[in-house]
Chain A
Amino acid sequence: MSASGPRIAVVTFPGSNDDRDALHALDQLGASGVPVWHAEERLPDVAGVVLPGGFAYGDYLRCGAIARFSPAMHAVAEFAAAGGLVLGICNGFQVLCEAGLLPGTLRPNESLSFLCRDVVLRVEGADTPFTSRCTPGQRLTIPIKHGEGCWFADAELLAELEAKRQIVLRYEQNPNGSIGDVAAVCNEHGNVMGLMPHPEHAADPLLGSTDGALILEGLVEAARAASPPLATAAAQV
């Protein structure tokens, strides 16, 4: 763990299973990952939040539908509304959509198959905090592993998101039937992003690709720039 790096929370829901991978990757990239249990009503002093992959609450009813009622999610919604950086990965993306923090929704893959493999992504928007280390049009190889990654928005919403440049990543070859080949979207202010691929699983050469580190490094750098008001205040005393 990097003691001096920006503190970034990783929320664990019952059924999350990539929370430790996210914490490990954040620590390796110079941040200080802070585990947060979903029952916490307040976030600790952090400069960013990651909602990890997994199957929160067993994905009952719809993916993410129950997780959004977790006490921690109320705190995450407040944090996001105040401009805080929030990254949802896979199940975390589904939770953010259900919580209304991101547009659209995730549905079962067109093929009905659970997909677990590397995909190539194209960077559409490099002007979000999460893609600041990327260039527009850059190709990233990052794995997906999901059964319900088919992002959906109706034509009107998709056009609106494209006009507002909220489509951040697209699949080079659409694996799951997502409308517009969309792999990642952000909110209107760009401080909340969700993506189905797993950057934390492509953040170390041992894992075959380090392209995911670019996304996480963007988060870490933005968190460093945004933080930490308390530490700064303490240093001045």
Chain B
Amino acid sequence: MKATVLVRPKPGILDPQGEAVESSLRQLGFAVADARIGRVVDLEVEASDAAAARAEVERMCQQLLANPLIESYEIELQ
């Protein structure tokens, strides 16, 4: 089963990469008020059903893929 994890800096956490990209987009003439940069992890998970896959990916996020101090995550199953 394919799963996608979206990892984002939590609201309020300084994201200097996002700020640099926002500034560059403005220089290109785009009206951008904010840019935040996260990470995408595409996974192929072996699981019996969607609920089991989601539970497994949830554990992956908690143990490795995201740092709960500074990052939030979302899991999408396909």
Contacts and interface: CB of A to CB of B under 8 A. Distances in A.
B70 A107 contact: yes
Given A61-B64, A65-B64, A105 B70 contact: yes
Contacts of A135: none
Interface string B6-45: 0000000110110010000000000000000000000000
A110 B14 contact: yes
Contacts of B20: 112
B62 interface: no
Between B13, B65, B70, the greatest number of chain A beta carbons within 10 A of the residue's beta carbon is seen for B70
Contacts of A107: 13-14, 70
A111 interface: yes
Interface on chain A toward B: helix, strand, loop, or mixed SS? Answer: loop
A98 B64 CA distance: 9
B70 A112 contact: no
Interface residues of B, number: 10
B14 A154 contact: no
Query: What size tier do the contact residues of chain A reach?
Result: 10 to 19
A4 B69 CA distance: 43
A20 to B, nearest CB: 30
Contacts of B67: 62, 65, 98, 105
Contact of B13 (A62, A104, A109, A152): A152
21 contacts: A61-B65, A65-B64, A65-B67, A98-B67, A104-B69, A105-B69, A105-B70, A107-B14, A108-B17, A109-B16, A110-B14, A111-B16, A112-B16, A112-B17, A112-B20, A150-B14, A152-B69, A153-B69, A154-B69, A177-B14, A177-B16
Interface of A: 61-62, 65, 98, 104-105, 107-112, 150, 152-154, 177
Interface of B: 13-14, 16-17, 20, 64-65, 67, 69-70
Given A107-B13, A109-B16, A110-B14, 11 more contacts: A61-B64, A65-B64, A104-B69, A108-B17, A111-B16, A112-B17, A112-B20, A150-B14, A152-B69, A153-B69, A154-B69
